[in-house]
Amino acid sequence: MNTNRAQGFKKIDARIKLKRMTDSISTQFLVNFTAVLICVRCLEKFEKEFSGELHLNYIEGCDPFLKNEHVELKSTDADNVFYYGNEIDLNIGIREAVILSLPIAPICHSDCPGLCPICGKNLKKGRCNCKPEKIGLFTPKNR
């Protein structure tokens, strides 16, 4: 699994509940994992644990919208996965639960100062000698 946000995973534990319905197989995915991410402020790698949950309906047959160019979906249509034969791919649900649990902009610590916008020094490792410029009503904090 490769996303722009995650650099790797230390462990992924998935628990899956399956329930046979009249016309589908209802699945509940519960995932716990440790991801290696890159902080968007300081650009350093860090590890963080996450939990995620996802519900999908596996329906045997062909996706009725497959050949339509423009489709108006109901909110529940995104929860449907179509399959053929006697096997379903549970990796789809695990992958989606993991991806949906990852932050869009990962931050190593809520108080991470990030990089100096002038010289690029990582401000977690100390101050720099750059002079902040006043921009309109905003003046950056002293470094």
Q: What is the largest CA-CA distance in the chain?
A: 68
94: part of which helix (H) or strand (E)? helix 91-101
Residue 56, beta-bridge partner list: 27
The span from the CA of 124 to the CA of 98, in Å, is 29
pLDDT in tens, 48-101: 999 999 999 998 887 666 666 777 767 676 788 888 888 889 999 999 999 999
pTM of the model: 0.74
Other beta carbons within 10 angstroms of residue 108's beta carbon come to: 20
Q: Match 């860090």 to its residue by tokens.
A: 46
pLDDT in tens, 111-132: 999 999 889 999 999 988 888 7
Instruction: For residue 4, give every residue at least 6 positions away whose Cβ sits within 8 Å of its Cβ, in sequence order, or none.
Output: none
Of 61, 74, 65, the C-alpha closest to 25 is 61
